[in-house]
Amino acid sequence: MADPVDQFIQTLFDSIPSRTEAFLSTNYPVLGHAVTQPALYLAMIWVAVKVMRVHSGRDPADVWPLVRMLLTIMFVFAALNWGGLAGQIFHSFQELRDDTVSSLMGGQSMTQYLENDYDKFSDASGQMMKQSMLNIGIVLLGLALQIVNSAMVLIALVLKVGSDMGFAVTMLLFPLFVPTLLWNSTRGFGMSWFAAMAKFALVGILLGVIVKFSFDITDQFVSKMDPNAMTAQDAFAAIIIAGAITLFMAFTIRPLAAALTSSGAAGSGMADMIGGFMMSQIMSKFSGGGRGGASANPGAATALTSISNTQTAHGNQLARIERALSSGGATGTSSMSSPSGAGQPGGPGGSAPSSGASDGVRW
């Protein structure tokens, strides 16, 4: 890579972090200060509702929910301050991306890998374009290889700049999302912000992986080529490799990062859908539902009908037993009542005293 171009790219890569840092340190406190008062009102309402629910007995009087509320409120108001927690969150995501890429590249920067990649393809295309005009096909293929190689480096630079700018813009919007962490019903919006930051971090990590991968393939391929005896087949192979890497970087890195950040929700949703489909199919098979279901499995349908009839008979028998017990209980209660005197001597409806008893009284 030419020295002016190399210096320009290196200056661009070195200036992006400082530019984003200055942008956030200037604009983040303004937005954070504007959101502080509404966030304070939301926190007061949240605490008041919690206290009333505990006082009314709807929520248990446990200390741990109150501790979690206190920690959440502290996190929200600390995140509204750029000099406090907000700057640490931003630098944590940046360090996650940069440290991962640096470890994958053996401590080298991405610009060094891009420079090596560009130089190797440039050497091959330069040897091709030095051929005589009799081999105009080789010259044109060398020009095409140079164009594809430049496009690959340009796309890598655009994705790197996009990752940094995406970090800065998403971080600037954090004061609008952090108050949503107070309520369970709105906490998903705050989690979506963290997912967006993770997406931009993965874009930078995947870009570093693709750059290293392309450098390894280029090194293995170009090292086996003789620049003085390059054929059209070698030129086509070099163009295909560079073009495939370019297309992969241009159209795959961002969707792959988005898929990785949302894989948990997508996986659970797919699992629920598959489980529901399987259960519906099983129930349809056993109940004979669907087109031709009863004719396809008559034994299962007959068994289910028999089970249903048996359960109905048992229910009727239990109802009869319950009615019998109710009537028996009423009879026992009436028999345990005090005697009315009916049929007793001298009582209502009783017989007259005998003559012997009457004579004794007289006597």
Query: What is the distance between the alpha carbons of residues 165 and 172, in angstroms, rounded to a whole number?
Result: 11
Could you give the CA distance from residue 63 to residue 161 in angstroms, rounded to a whole number?
Answer: 47
For the stretch 270-305, pLDDT in tens is: 444 444 444 444 445 444 444 444 444 444 445 445
The four Cα atoms 309, 311, 317, 318 give a dihedral, to 10 degrees, of: -160
pLDDT digits (tens, 9 = 90+) for 254-275: 787 777 776 544 444 444 444 4
- Please give the pLDDT value at position 229: 64
d(C-alpha 101, C-alpha 350), whole Å: 112
How far apart CA 217 and CA 150 sit, in angstroms, is 17
- Cα–Cα–Cα angle for 64, 65, 71, rounded to 5 degrees: 90
**Residue 257: CB partners within 8 Å, gap ≥ 6?**
199, 200, 202, 203, 206
Task: Say if residues 59 and 65 touch (Cβ distance below 8 Å).
Answer: yes
Residues 187 and 203: beta-carbon distance below 8 Å: no
300 within 8 A of 288, measured Cβ to Cβ: yes
In the prediction, which pLDDT does 253 show? Answer: 82
CA distance linking residue 205 with residue 169, whole number of Å: 19
Q: What is the pLDDT of residue 5?
A: 62
12 Cβ contact partners less than 8 Å away, ≥ 6 residues apart: 157, 161
Mean pLDDT in consecutive groups of 10 residues from the start of the chain, 363 residues: 63 80 92 92 88 83 83 92 90 89 79 73 72 68 77 82 88 93 86 90 87 74 64 74 80 79 49 43 46 44 54 64 64 50 49 43 38
Per-residue burial over 66-80, b if 16 or more Cβ lie within 10 Å, else e, is eeebeebbeebbebb
Candidates 194, 170, 199, 190; CA nearest to 260 is 199
CA dist 67 and 112 (Å) reads 49
> In the prediction, which pLDDT does 36 show?
92
